[in-house]
Structure 1
Amino acid sequence: MAIITLTTDFGIKDHFVGAVKGTILSNLPDVNIVDISHAISPFNIQECAYILKNAYRSFPEGTVHIVGVDSELSPENQHIVVQVDGHYFVSANSGVISLITSEVKPEKVVEIRIPNVISGSFPVLNVFIQVACHIARGGKLEVIGRPFNELRELREFEPRIIDNGKTISGNVIYIDNYGNVVTNIQRSLFNAYRNGRDFEVSARTTKIKEIHTSYNGIINFDLDKSQRKGPGDALALFNSAGYIELAIYKSDLNSVGGASSLLGLNYRDTVTINFL
């Protein structure tokens, strides 16, 4: 059975998601539609890219991914299909695919060219669905597009190496449902520059000198409970996607707060690693 996924900033209040799903089913009744997320912050390409990168690999090859974030057509925001890593991404040329194509070379990229179609203000409904259903039926990309070699990349959020490799300066790229703060500093980059040195993760006034591989890594279970670190304490870890993440152990963003609110961190804020 063909699979089409949806990643959008539409939310769930309005009719958009329902209209998209209904139109897909009208064109392809047997398709399996999977929601990756409809809670992307409006027009937040970096957030969308992070979520999509870490979700698509769990789907079988041949899956078609519709990306409905900042998708309105313009001369600088072309509609494209990217075939990469055995998957198909139907999107605008906003840079959203760049986190994937930075690690895996695209097999094919086409600019969507469908005659007699006006994308208007709802291109996901009027354009992307037609393309996704065409691909899901086994259709060729050459039928709906022409070769394209101007993929936009998200370069503004690449971490910087400064002070002759003594410091990695990164940024917050995502805040999750728990208020945990994900940086753009990957484990591989950290390991490449550490060279056995001690280090300090610095975010505003917070400084952390350990990076764990799990959230409860902050707890020393050999100590008496009264002496352990635990709920409410700040920690850094390599998350499941391989990025350095800051968290408050077992904290609730909606009550006492999470790392984003308690550490005063927002999207794009700076997080640095200083090697000592």
Structure 2
Amino acid sequence: MAIITLTTDFGEKDYFVGAVKGAIYSELKEVRIVDISHSVSPFHISEAAYIIKNAYNSFPKGSIHIIGIDSEFTPENKHLAVLLDDHYFICANNGILSLLASEIKPEKVVEINIHDAIETNFPVLDVFVKVACHLARGGTLEVIGKNISEIKYLKQFEPAINSEKNQIVGHVLYIDNYGNVVTNISRKLFDHVGKGRNYLISARMVTFPKIYEAYSDWINFEVEKENRGEEDGKKLALFNSAGYIELAIYKSNPSTVGSASTLFGLEHRDTVTIKFEEK
């Protein structure tokens, strides 16, 4: 049975998600629809890119992923169907696949060209669903689009390294549901540039001299709990499960202890710097 996933900024209030699912079921009776997220901030391309990059590979090969973010069809925002890592992605050519395609080269990319046969101002419902169902039936990309060699890439996903190779300047890529701050600096890049050197991470007025492997790693469990003092609300940096440096508050809750985003004063695209010491 084909799997079609949905990642959108539609939210839960309006009819959009239900209409898209209904259209899929009207085309295909035997299909499994999975919601990845409908809570992406409106038109937030980097947020959606981070979510889809870290969710898609949990699905079986051959899964079809509809991404409904900033998908209005215009001369500057064409629609794509992409085969990458044996998964299909249907989205606008707005840079949303930059984070994924920078690590894994797409196997095939087509610019969708069935718009003349469809009158729509809701492309996710009328165009993306048609393409997804075509692929789910075993159809080929060439039938619904023309081959192109490149997709749009966004430079904002790439941290900068200075010429002395002792500094990485990144930025806030994503803020999760707990208010923890995910940077665009990967473990792979950190290890490549750092080469085992001491370092200091800084973001606005906060600094971090150490990166942990898990949220609880900073706790000394050899000390009895009643003697360790307050643990919730402590700041830390760690490599998160997606392989990026995250600035976090232990057991953060925006309504009680606060979150990394609010307490550190960090928002999307704010600068995060790592300076390495000379050996």
Match of 1:162 in 2: 162
Aligned-partner Cα distance in 1 for 2:79–2:120: 10
Contact kept? 1:206, 1:263, Cα under 8 Å: yes
Q: After TM superposition, give the deviation of residue 220 of structure 1 in Å.
A: 1.4
Match of 1:236 in 2: 237
Match of 1:83 in 2: 83
Aligned-partner Cα distance in 2 for 1:192–1:261: 31
Taking the TM superposition and a 5 Å limit, the aligned residue runs for 1:97-246 are 97-114=97-114, 115-120=116-121, 122-162=122-162, 164-225=164-225, 226-227=227-228, 230-246=231-247
Q: After TM superposition, give the deviation of residue 274 of structure 1 in Å.
A: 1.1
Contact kept? 2:200, 2:210, Cα under 8 Å: yes
Aligned-partner Cα distance in 2 for 1:229–1:82: 49
Q: After TM superposition, give the deviation of residue 163 of structure 1 in Å.
A: 5.6
Aligned-partner Cα distance in 1 for 2:6–2:141: 19
Q: Root-mean-square deviation (CA), in Å?
A: 1.2
Over residues 213-246 of structure 1, what are the superposed CA-to-partner deviations in whole Å (9 max), with x where a residue is unaligned?
1000111112343346721110000000000001
Match of 2:273 in 1: 272
Amino acid at match of 2:156: E
Aligned-partner Cα distance in 2 for 1:229–1:86: 47
Contact kept? 1:200, 1:273, Cα under 8 Å: yes
Aligned length: 275
Question: Closer, same or farther in 2 for the Cα pair 1:167/1:88, shift >3 Å?
Answer: same
Match of 2:14 in 1: 14
Between 253-262 and 104-113, the greater mean CA deviation after superposition: 253-262
Amino acid at match of 1:244: I
Aligned-partner Cα distance in 1 for 2:37–2:215: 24
Contact kept? 2:67, 2:89, Cα under 8 Å: yes
Q: Secondary structure at the match of 1:177?
A: coil
Aligned-partner Cα distance in 1 for 2:195–2:21: 51
Over residues 64-123 of structure 1, what are the superposed CA-to-partner deviations in whole Å (9 max), with x where a residue is unaligned?
000100000111111110000000001110111111111111111111111411232x10
Contact kept? 2:99, 2:157, Cα under 8 Å: no
Over residues 127-156 of structure 1, what are the superposed CA-to-partner deviations in whole Å (9 max), with x where a residue is unaligned?
000000000010111111111123000112
Aligned-partner Cα distance in 2 for 1:194–1:229: 33
Amino acid at match of 1:245: E
Q: After TM superposition, give the deviation of residue 256 of structure 1 in Å.
A: 3.1
Amino acid at match of 1:252: N
* TM-score normalised over the length of structure 2: 0.96
Amino acid at match of 1:104: I
Aligned-partner Cα distance in 2 for 1:54–1:169: 23
Amino acid at match of 1:94: N
Q: Secondary structure at the match of 1:91?
A: strand
Q: Secondary structure at the match of 2:217?
A: helix
Q: Which structure 2 residue ranges, 5 or more long, are not aligned?
A: none
Over residues 150-191 of structure 1, what are the superposed CA-to-partner deviations in whole Å (9 max), with x where a residue is unaligned?
300011231111261111111001000000100000001111
Q: After TM superposition, give the deviation of residue 204 of structure 1 in Å.
A: 1.0
Aligned-partner Cα distance in 1 for 2:229–2:209: 16
Between 161-170 and 35-44, the greater mean CA deviation after superposition: 161-170
Q: Which structure 1 residue ranges, 5 or more long, are not aligned?
A: none
* TM-score normalised over the length of structure 1: 0.97
Over residues 13-65 of structure 1, what are the superposed CA-to-partner deviations in whole Å (9 max), with x where a residue is unaligned?
00000000011001111100000000001001111000000000000011000
Contact kept? 1:219, 1:229, Cα under 8 Å: no
Contact kept? 1:73, 1:119, Cα under 8 Å: no
Aligned-partner Cα distance in 1 for 2:234–2:186: 23
Match of 2:261 in 1: 260
Aligned-partner Cα distance in 1 for 2:13–2:50: 24
Amino acid at match of 2:254: L
Over residues 237-271 of structure 1, what are the superposed CA-to-partner deviations in whole Å (9 max), with x where a residue is unaligned?
00000000011001212333210001111000011
